[in-house]
Amino acid sequence: MKVLILGGVAGGATTATRLRRLNENAQIIIFERGPYVSFANCGLPYYIGNVIKEKKNLLLQTPKSFKDRFNIDVRIKNEVIKIDREKKEVLVKNLEDGSEYIETYDKLVLSPGAEPINPFRELNSNKIATLRNVDDSVKIREYIEENNPKNVVIIGGGYIGVEMAENIKHYERINVTIIEKNSHLIPPLDRDVASIVHNKLRDKDIEIILNNGVKEIKESKNIFNIILDKGEVKADYIILSIGVRPETKIAKEAGIILNSKGSIIVDDNMKTNDKDIYALGDAIEIKNYITKMPDYIPLAGPANRQARIVANNICGIDSKYNGTMGSSILKLFDYNLAMTGLNEMTCKFQNIEYKKIIITPFSHATYYPGANEMIVKVIYSSKEKALLGAQVIGKDGVDKVCDILATAIRSKLSIYDLEDLELCYAPPFSSAKSVVNVVGNVIENELNGLVENVSWEDVEKIYNPYVLDVRTPKEYSFGCFDNAINIPVDELRENISKLDKENIIYVYCKTGVRSYIACRILMQNGFKVKNIMGGYSLYKQIKEDRLSIEIDD
């Protein structure tokens, strides 16, 4: 059996090595048009920021290591330029000498990846960069170190844009600005959680421009004038992080079926409309694991899993890819941000019934030094009693909490299963009642009618809401919701007569724990109450973000 693989890195390289482990006698050839067949794609921003010091640390495998260990023929700087499905052959161009040659195949694997979107190619400037491979990261780092730009503008505030902002900020004296046409950074986040990201970046003196697209870029005397929908920004150096598009021109020309956005359509076995051609990675349309609808989620983890499935199927082991949830994590200076599954925007757009909770627990037992507050937002279905998605942000334990919630979604655990999970505990690592257990407890309380939770956005939509702050007077003095009444939870019973039974009372504390206790006291005394999720901790973040946006405008 002869298998040709178009593209290396996560998808192609992993497919090749799995194939070899399954079939020692197969002839396996990888074609990679770049100089590196396997590199740490997700590490590129950290090389630019000099966190990863040496370029060699990004290189995972070489053509020689592939040959020595796996007997795989890797041909770097060789590009497949045409596929002839009828003859089962490809036309390859050697990019070093320009020569062309033909290779036949029994099975063909397409792993071409996705290319950065660049609507400003006509400027043809070495001071406008995109990031896709090792060479790109080397050029960006060299330019910054050799030219010391004063003002770097990043256009696009997704994962890469935010990671680039952090890493470029490691260089002293550089002003960094992120321009994002949408209302918040990191699109998979909801707007309330994104407020924390915005505030953290501003704390590090990174300017954020939101709700403002780029119309035009003009260059004059080595300075760029970036024309926005509203206003202008000047820059010495620009990094485009607008997004990516699947690089599937060669597949389209060969008659491989694509969707309207150019992604290759594959079945559950990763097979295209040609029974002998498979595709994977950032070039394909995937099925959303939760909604079961077509989606596009380019991530390294799914690409690696798809690679194993492709190799299995080529070797006669029936394997199916069940979809992508979008589990991901992002480092943000001393904070970590993780997410999985659906957010509110997706639920609304696809008319999915959902509810949400927001809790602000600590990463481990508070009596043990170093406990840090995190914010956990969970989207769930009250009808199915199941999780739909989660967003977690904090300094410690973020990956652990989000990974457990992602596993719960994947395993179709119910809300009640979360309460019953037995997870590792010692004071330096967790609390006896883990964050995940608390998520289950809070949702169960709501499902059983013990409390009704509302968001700050819900409260702000109400004309003159009747709001009760159950924090201490000292906490109240440092900031509160407008016109909130302050009665500490420990003094609530003896002051209960001061409250109006005719009104719905919206209750909050710092994190949501004391306000829940207050709600239970009041409900059992005949009051109509609602608990404000996330407490004042979240409200303060949202309010600070809004004020900053107003000042910027």
Q: Assign 478 to helix, strand or coil.
A: coil
Measured in residues, the chain has a length of: 553
2-6: strand order across its sheet = 73-76, 27-32, 2-6, 107-110, 277-279
Catalytic residue check, 42 = yes
Residue among 42, 315, 402, 480 flagged as catalytic: 42
- Please provide residue 175's backbone torsions phi and psi, each rounded to the nearest 5 degrees: -85, 130
For residue 240, the cross-strand partners are 155
Distance CA 254, CA 274 (A): 10
Long-range contacts, 142-147 (Cβ 8 Å, 24+):
143/237, 144/48, 144/168, 144/171, 144/174, 144/237, 147/236, 147/237
Distance CA 39, CA 57 (A): 9
162, amino acid identity: V
Please give the angle made by the CA atoms of 543, 533 and 419, to the nearest 5 degrees.
145
C-alpha dihedral sign at 400, 401, 403, 408: positive
> What are the DSSP calls for 163-203, one per residue?
HHHHHHTTSTT-EEEEE-SSSSSSTTS-HHHHHHHHHHHHH
Please give the angle made by the CA atoms of 287, 293 and 294, to the nearest 5 degrees.
55
Instruction: Give the C-alpha distances (Å, rounded to integers) separating 281 from 159, 342, 427, 546.
Output: 17, 20, 40, 38
322, amino acid identity: N
Are 401 and 436 in contact by the 8 Å Cβ rule? The answer is: yes
Instruction: Give the C-alpha distances (Å, rounded to integers) separating 306 from 83, 262, 298, 483.
Output: 22, 19, 12, 55
Q: Of 23, 299, 331, 407, which is closest to residue 167 (Cα–Cα)?
A: 331
Distance CA 82, CA 99 (A): 14
CA dihedral 499, 514, 407, 424 (to 10 degrees): -160
Are 362 and 369 in contact by the 8 Å Cβ rule? The answer is: no
Tell the burial category of 253 from Cβ atoms under 10 Å away from its Cβ (0-12, 13-18, 19+).
exposed
Distance CA 4, CA 492 (A): 72
Distance CA 419, CA 400 (A): 16
Beta strands at 175-179 and 244-246: parallel, antiparallel or unpaired: unpaired
Catalytic residues, by residue number, are 42
